[in-house]
Structure 1
Amino acid sequence: MKKNRSLIQDRDARASGDTASGADNLNISNNLEQTLDNVTRELGFSPDLKIRKFQIGSAEPVWVAAVFMDGLINTVAVDEFVMGALFDNSADAAEGMPREPQERFQFILDRALELGETAVKDDWNDMMLSLLSGNTIILVDGCSKAIVGGTKGGEWRTVAEPSSQIVIRGPKDSFVESLITNIALIRRRIKSPKLWIEFMKIGSVTNTDVALLYMKGRADDKVVDQVRMRLKKIDIEAVLESSYIEQLIQDKVFTPFPTVYNTERPDVSAANLLEGRVVLIVDGTPFVLVVPTVLAQFLQSTDDYTQRFDSATLMRLVRYMSLIILLLGPSVYIALTTFHYEMVPTPMLISLLAQRENVPFPAAIEAMIMEAAFEILREAGIRMPRAVGQTVSIVGALILGTAVVEAGIITPVMVIVVALTGIASFAIPSYNLAVAGRIIRFGFMVAASMFGFYGITLGLIVLIAHINSLQSFGTPYLAPLSPFSIRGQKDTVIRVPMFLVSLRPNKLGYMKDDKSGKRKGTAGTGKDGQSGA
């Protein structure tokens, strides 16, 4: 035990020695051993750091080192195109190896490596970032530069079906945690040179790769510039998921409504790009971000464009109705049974009063208890293992509903109302919008318990005014309903036949009048809410 403790203390002392005092001032040394020692110390003598040293040449051999991180590299590329190429070409190098260090470096770069992607780094931080990104670093003794070989790899989850955005008909692939793979999934769908991609790193510690994708000539340059500016202004240590960036670039923080759309489907992302939106892909997460967005986008599904227009329109109307039930279902019941008995048919009123005869709580308290219990069951079903999560939710709801009715705590009608509200939340395609509706309904329940339908009306006025004030990167959140566009209704609440819907918009979100009096601009929203004229 004492021996192990002394080894650990010795390691900490060495790691905090030279590099602790001058970690920010390190550079690539001409001395190969010194550079390797600095790399080892800065990484804390990490066991996944691998260093391979060997000599090239026979008459005047030169020491070369290959440095890489185990688990982050493509082992085949390292073995064949780095190590194998250096060893195979050592015989040729023995005959024509220059004597000057810089010429040796260029000789190895030109003749000894067979990698298609190579770069030269002379900055220490750039070299370390390349190493930690999965590249292989080639160091040559006597030279203060490093060769960076593109050997990124490692284990990644394979492309599989989406877990959250399920469709009946359509592509079955989804994004994964690899940035390059996700870009390739979009490239396969948009084989156009107008698909432009910009890379940047966000996070002072994690240095997370973020890709900004847009269609040149289709995306509004002002929107692209605004997205780029907001990304550059992000000052954060770590970006571990795209939600970090979503919360830092959204237009308004204090709102339950999402103003940045997220998806794990490549086809949805491709459709958004074709319609002039900007897509953000974050390395390490399968969920990409889409901006700008409108409210209608969160109520549309990919199935709307793989089915006939009449069935798609019916399903959209069902979703809008589900949103209304989610927001107002419990509050309408509270208002009817507390303030507005005259609006209930007499036979139903007699039945409701008979049910409430032995219930100790008013309707508002009933609704709060049942909604809270339903939220607990929903959360338990999500956190439980997938094999038993749904069973727990369904069985728990049945048992709980039966028990509270038989105990005389809750009326049967209240159980029906809460169950209908919960089912309505599941009919909304966007999880973020469903969560927003679940939060807002509690406000309507409080307003209904205090003022009845007057409180509900006041709440609706405040809600509509709030939604109308929202924007997403300059696009009105209620577009094309506000500002209203007749052409925009082709693909918002209803969907007209496909031949009447154009994919490409002139301007996202709203219409403008030209001098002739004709309206021009977008005509609504396309796949999953993307604008389409």
Structure 2
Amino acid sequence: MDKQNQHGETQLSLHVDDYKAYLKNLFANAYDFQIRTIHTKQMTEVNLYYFNGLVDITLLDELVAKSIVSIEQSSTIDPNDTIVSLTNHTLPLNLDDIKEGLLNGQVMVHINAHSPYLLTINSDPARQVAEPTTEYQVFGPKLGFVESVDKNIGILRYYLKDCELHTVEAFAGKENTMKVAVAYIHSLIDETSLSFINEKIERLKNKEISSLGQLARHFQHDFYSLFPQSVLTERPDHAKESLLDGKFVIFLSYHTFCIVTPVQLLDTIGSIEDSSFTVSWNKLSIRVLRLLCMIIGTTLPALYVALVAFHPELIPTTFTLTIAQSRAQIPITASFEALLMLFALDVLVEASIRLPSFVGQTIGIVGGLVIGTAAAEAGIVSNIMVVTIAFTAICTFVIPSWEFVFTWRIMRYIYVLVASLLGLYGLSLVFGLTFLHLCKLKAHDKPYLEPISPFNFKKLRTFFHSRP
């Protein structure tokens, strides 16, 4: 069907039967592919090719059908005449352009003896802008991203009216099926970080991306670290504040979340709503509370194991007697007891997430109460261990970043295992190694522990305390 002229340029066939046969064969197994034929009064055949679910049929009838009726009353048919003037259109250069246009929801119009053209009469399958479903907010706007990259960029511009907001478009994979958009404020981005992102964007062409997790890992500096260097959000206000902090916001086709990168340790314990308090000291108290809960939720089970198994002399005498009485009939060691309860906790969390919302909350509460109480009464675990694990879970869920919660869940197991082998010495050692890793880790070109290490008092004060 494609022909080349004397200059080597590709030209499309003008005969209507060629396209009908080719597209019928190409989409023979697609029931939703439609070929609509209209004959004018001059017996000229006009064919419309489109996919039912991707095209606004009402608009197609209103614009194209009525235009063809008006053409019927004229003596000649010109493809650049009434139909084209009423709609957005493009002229395909080859068959690949036609296939891509049809799959993107365009309508191909072919009038016999003329070149075909593509009309944009898309029926947008994306849902309307609505409230975020996974990131609950008290003070923030009730608005979340949707599945359309272009619409999400529009939402971002609605929140941030800044000429310095630059956007870059890219496509992932050999077939360019997944659209990626990167947004950033140019004046707030350093050249090293921008070069890193541009290099990663160039490599997207040869990388198949199907999920946000794959895309986020593609933009990571340290791939093997347990600590996230990017987070996901579906809240435009979070994305806006991240842009103003000198970060990149990355969108992917068909996903309601965007990627915020790079992130550092303190970013994961902060929330946009913290700045909404009318009393500035509230921001300090809530962020200090989260920091303490992060440490307690990670180390408390390991600390319990180390003290009970290796260093009971460090526990106050009264409390030691209480623990001894609680563990008198327990047949397993404190370390195995802690690992068993942590495993049960993680199973309950995952079960409550995967089940429907109206069942998940019930399973989480009832399962926790029933299993904890039954295990303690049966003498499998001690009452103090049940309390320890329950408090650990509550402290962990105070952290706003769900990605970061998973990191500390893994770290808990490591800490308990080391504490069960080496006691407080091992716990101190692995805690120090964790801190050394965080000092070494970088998110793009920025230290992960900044402004703690290297220490920057001004940034640290701004993070914990809002000033007028």
TM-score, normalisation: structure 1: 0.81
Letter in 2 for 1:461: G
* Residue 427 of structure 2 corresponds to residue 456 of structure 1: yes
CA–CA distance in 1 between the matches of 2:218 and 2:434? 24
| Structure 2: distance between partners of 1:200 and 1:64 | 36
Is 2:342 the counterpart of 1:358?
no
Counterpart of 2:196? 226
Q: Is 1:208 equivalent to 2:178 in the alignment?
A: yes
Alignment partner, residue 408 of structure 1: 379
Q: What SS does the aligned partner of 2:432 have?
A: helix
Q: Is the 8 A contact 1:480 1:489 kept in 2?
A: yes
Aligned mates of 1:39, 1:198 — CA distance in 2:
34
Distance in 2 (CA, whole Å) between partners of 1:153 and 1:228 is 33
Aligned to 1:209, the other structure's residue is in SS state strand
Equivalenced residue count is: 460
Structure 2 residue aligned with 1:166: 136
Q: Distance in 2 between matches of 1:185 and 1:451?
A: 53
Distance 1:95 1:179, change over 3 A: same
- 176-185 vs 113-122, which moves further: 113-122
2:220 to 242, 247, 250: 250
Residue 282 of structure 1, CA deviation: 0.9
1:436-469 per-position Cα deviation (integer Å, ceiling 9, x unaligned): 0000110000111111111111101211121222
| Alignment-derived partner of residue 349 in structure 1 | 320
Give 2:28's match in structure 1, choosing from 44, 59, 62. Answer: 44
Give the one of 134, 138, 142 matched to 2:113: 142
Q: Name the counterpart of 1:333.
A: 304
Residues 115 and 289 of structure 1: CA distance in aligned 2, closer, same or farther (over 3 Å): farther
Query: Is contact 2:352–2:363 with CA below 8 Å preserved after alignment?
Result: yes
1:416: Cα distance to partner?
A: 0.5
1:279 aligned residue: 249
Whole-angstrom distance in 1 between the partners of 2:222 and 2:383: 41
Paired AA for residue 110 in structure 2: L
Q: Which amino acid aligns with 1:296?
A: L
Does residue 370 of structure 2 align to residue 399 of structure 1? yes
User: Post-superposition shift, 1:54?
Assistant: 2.2
| Residues in 2 aligned to 1:46 and 1:118: alpha-carbon distance in whole angstroms | 24
1:78 equivalenced with 2:60 (yes/no):
yes
- Report the secondary structure of 2:259's partner residue: strand
The residue aligned with 1:375 is: 346
Partner of 1:506: none
Cα distance in 2, alignment partners of residues 115 and 304 from structure 1: 50
Partner AA of 2:65 in structure 1? M
Residues 116, 479 of structure 1: alpha-carbon distance in 2 compared, 3 angstrom cutoff: farther
The structure-2 alpha-carbon separation of the partners of 1:200 and 1:79, relative to structure 1 and needing over 3 Å to count, comes to: farther
Give the whole-Å Cα distance in 1 for the aligned partners of 2:25 and 2:153. Answer: 35
Q: Judge which range, 409-418 or 293-302, deviates more.
A: 293-302
Name the aligned partner's letter for residue 109 of structure 2. Answer: I
1:241-264 Cα shifts (integer Å, max 9, x gaps):
322211222222212211122110
Provide, for residues 493-522 of structure 1, a one-character-per-residue CA deviation record: whole Å limited to 9, x for no partner.
x1222x3xxxxxxxxxxxxxxxxxxxxxxx
* Offset at residue 32 of structure 1 (A): 1.8
Distance in 2 (CA, whole Å) between partners of 1:421 and 1:27 is 68
Does the residue aligned with 1:233 lie in a helix, a strand or coil? Answer: helix
Q: 1:225 to 1:126 in 2, by over 3 A?
A: farther
The CA distance in 1 between the partners of 2:218 and 2:208, in whole Å, is: 12
Q: Which one is further off, 227-236 or 279-288? A: 227-236
User: Quick one: structure 1 residues 80 and 468, their matched pair in 2 at CA, closer, same or farther if it must change by over 3 Å?
Assistant: farther
Q: After the TM superposition, which residues 186-197 of structure 1 pair with which residues of structure 2 at under 5 Å, given as runs?
A: 186-197=156-167
* Alpha carbons of structure 1 residues 430 and 112: separation in structure 2 relative to 1, 3 Å: same
Residue pair 2:146, 2:256 contacting (<8 A) in 1 also: yes
Q: Which residue of 1 aligns with 2:6?
A: none
Superposition pairs of residues 436-455 of structure 1, within 5 angstroms? 436-455=407-426
Q: What residue identity is the alignment partner of 2:416?
A: M
Superposed CA offset, 1:74-118 (max 9, x none): 334323333333434443xx2454xxxxxx44x34xx32244532
Aligned-partner Cα distance in 2 for 1:198–1:115: 30
C-alpha distance in structure 1 between counterparts of 2:60 and 2:29, whole Å:
22
The 5 Å alignment of 1:300-339 reads 300-308=270-278, 309-339=280-310
Rounded to whole Å, the distance in 1 between the matches of 2:259 and 2:345 is 30
Q: Which amino acid aligns with 2:19?
A: T
- Look up the equivalent residue of 1:49 and give its one-letter code: F
Change (3 A) 1:330 1:175: same
Secondary structure in 2 matching 1:257 = coil
| Partner residue, 1:292 | 262
TM-aligned CA deviation for residue 228 of structure 1: 3.0
CA positional deviation for 1:284: 0.5
Q: Tell me the residue number matched to 1:69.
A: 51
Give the stretch that moved more between structures: 76-85 or 367-376. Answer: 76-85
Structure 2 residues not aligned, in runs of 5+: 2-9
Equivalent-residue separation in structure 2 for 1:83 and 1:476 (angstroms): 61
Q: Which residue of 1 aligns with 2:4?
A: none
What value does the CA root-mean-square deviation take over the aligned residues? 2.3
The one-letter code matched in structure 2 to 1:435 is: F
Gaps in structure 1 of 5+ consecutive residues: 1-17, 19-25, 98-103, 500-533
Partners of 1:229 and 1:115 lie apart in 2 by: 41
Counterpart of 1:34 (choices 8, 18, 38) is 18
> SS at the partner of 2:170?
strand
- The amino acid of 1:51's aligned partner reads I
CA offsets per residue over residues 30-50 of structure 1, 9 Å max, x none?
222212221222223411111
Question: What amino acid is the match of 2:197?
Answer: V
Query: Bigger CA drift: 334-343 or 112-121?
Result: 112-121
> How far has the Cα of 1:476 moved from its partner?
1.7
CA-CA distance at 1:134 after TM superposition: 1.4
Identity value in percent: 27
1:467 is matched with 438
Report the counterpart of residue 480 of structure 1 in structure 2. 451
Kindly indicate whether the alpha-carbon contact (under 8 Å) linking 1:219 and 1:275 is maintained by their aligned counterparts in 2.
Answer: no
Residue 177, structure 1, aligned to residue 150, structure 2: no
CA contact (8 A) 2:447 2:453 kept: yes
Tell whether the 8 Å contact from 2:63 to 2:83 is kept in structure 1 after alignment. Answer: no
Cα 1:446/1:80, change in 2 over 3 Å: same
